[in-house]
Amino acid sequence: MGQKELERMKKEVKTELLTHIIPFWIGMRDDRYGGYYGGLTYELSLIPEAEKGCILNSRITWFFANAYTLYRQGLFTEEDCRAAGYEAEELLHEAKHGYRFLKEHCLDEKYGGVYWSLRADGTSADQTKHTYNQAFAVYALSSYYEASHDAEALALAFELFTLIEERCIDEDGYLEAFTREFLPQSNEKLSENGVLAERTMNTMLHVLEAYTELFRVTEGAEEEIQVERALSAACGESLAVLRGRVRQRIIWITEVFARKIYNPRLHRQEVFFDAQYRSLIDLHSYGHDIETAWLMDKTLEVLMDRDIRKKISPITRELTAQIYQTAFDGASLANECECGVVNEHRVWWVQAEAVVGFLNGWQHEPARTEYCDAAVAEWQFIREYVVDQRPGSEWYWEVRADGTPILGRPIVEPWKCPYHNGRMCMEVLKRIDAK
């Protein structure tokens, strides 16, 4: 794949981010009760009374914070934003809007942690405390700190990190779901495919992602007096001590992935586990594997630890190669394979992760030019079939292998947000520039 094709993809992705995804999510802002509306039907009818998922609002906060950071880094300009109908500073305004909602409504002042969901008016609805949800709040707060330099947001991120490490684990690793008071409860929220998991690959992956972001954005922040003051007041410890703890947990998670999550015989991750990390189902989640490959590589870049890289890099290479060989048909990625039966639907987030994962694979193994070709082909499939061209819409939830949309799936709901597709766009802009 030549540089010309890569530059064309970069231009198209930039246009999609600036003129489609960003304006759509600005339009989902709730100025009455705060946060962002929780529902938009397939028929494009807003559901103002829909519950507001705290994961949804954390991810939207993360999205706008990162979009603003990209602007500050020069990957697009004020003129680009104005041409799309908004000012660049509106991106930070949106991030602040999400941050205020997260701080004032999603956080439980009495017992700590983040609720699962809120009513439309911002009062708590589902008071479940889930480790996955806590992790995404850490992720959002970390990125918001990078965009805004708000020390209070960073202090909240470290408070949630401490809460996860003190209340969401046992001697073997991360647990999943808890009551409001952090008593363990069953894990329906992150269990699928007919099993009830006590541990999941998905939760551990996104704890890793959140901790990596927290560690990354605080490099060099020891020199900021307001940061040390905020952390001393909130956590009673210095940034250096807290960062050291985050780093230790990142290393521990990579060890667990290598020893218990990754299946070297099948060159894939297992997905759902009992308390002893015994796999509960024969399930190959294609999207999670390609996502893990590039997120793990990002963690390695942030850690800069030669021994860990030596152990983990072969796994990320194997995950990428296996997905390319098993799940990619030359244009797009199938969803998953359960007990030997492939789900051929093309889900929006799986396609987005495939673009980044294949681009990442090529950048780490330049001789594997087929990965670069796959990233470009996957983007073309997304642009033609997954992006919903109807005015007032964003991306379809899922389409068939031939690109026809699956009717009835909502455009916005608690899991459908700009996290995967927005992140894909930003990663393409950063990676093609770097290459």
* The predicted structure's pLDDT at residue 434: 56
Is the model's pLDDT at 389 over the cut of 60?
A: yes
Average pLDDT of 235-257? 97
Average pLDDT of 324-351? 98
Helical spans, DSSP H, in 178-305 = 201-217, 225-235, 239-256, 286-303
* The predicted structure's pLDDT at residue 435: 46
Percent of the chain at pLDDT > 70 equals: 99
Strand partners for 273: 199, 279
Structure-token pair, residue 346: 């093309």
Phi, psi of 343 (to 5 degrees): -85, 110
* The predicted structure's pLDDT at residue 179: 98
Tokens 């308390």 belong to 275
Q: What is the DSSP string of 167-209?
A: HSEETTEE--EE-TT--EE--GGG--TT---SEEHHHHHHHHH
C-alpha to C-alpha distances, 290 to 18, 265, 297, 335, 343, nearest whole angstrom = 25, 17, 11, 11, 16
Structure-token pair, residue 1: 């794949």
Indicate the residue type of 327. Answer: A
Question: For domain 3-434, which CATH number applies: 1.10.1740.10, 3.40.190.10, 1.50.10.10, 3.40.50.280?
Answer: 1.50.10.10
Structure-token pair, residue 241: 């001590």
Give this prediction's pTM: 0.97
Is the model's pLDDT at 222 over the cut of 90?
A: no
Mean pLDDT of the chain: 97
Phi-psi region of 147 (alpha: psi -120 to 50; beta: other; left: phi over 0): alpha
Average pLDDT of 255-276? 98
Is the model's pLDDT at 263 over the cut of 50?
A: yes
Average pLDDT of 196-212? 98
Cα gap 295→204, rounded to integer Å: 12
Is the model's pLDDT at 271 over the cut of 90?
A: yes
Indicate the residue type of 160. Answer: L
Is the model's pLDDT at 272 over the cut of 50?
A: yes
What's the sign of the alpha-carbon dihedral 185, 191, 208, 109?
A: negative
Structure-token pair, residue 374: 């796959």
* The predicted structure's pLDDT at residue 3: 83
Average pLDDT of 253-264? 98
Q: Please report which confidence band the pLDDT of residue 1 belongs to, taking 50, 70 and 90 as the band edges.
A: low
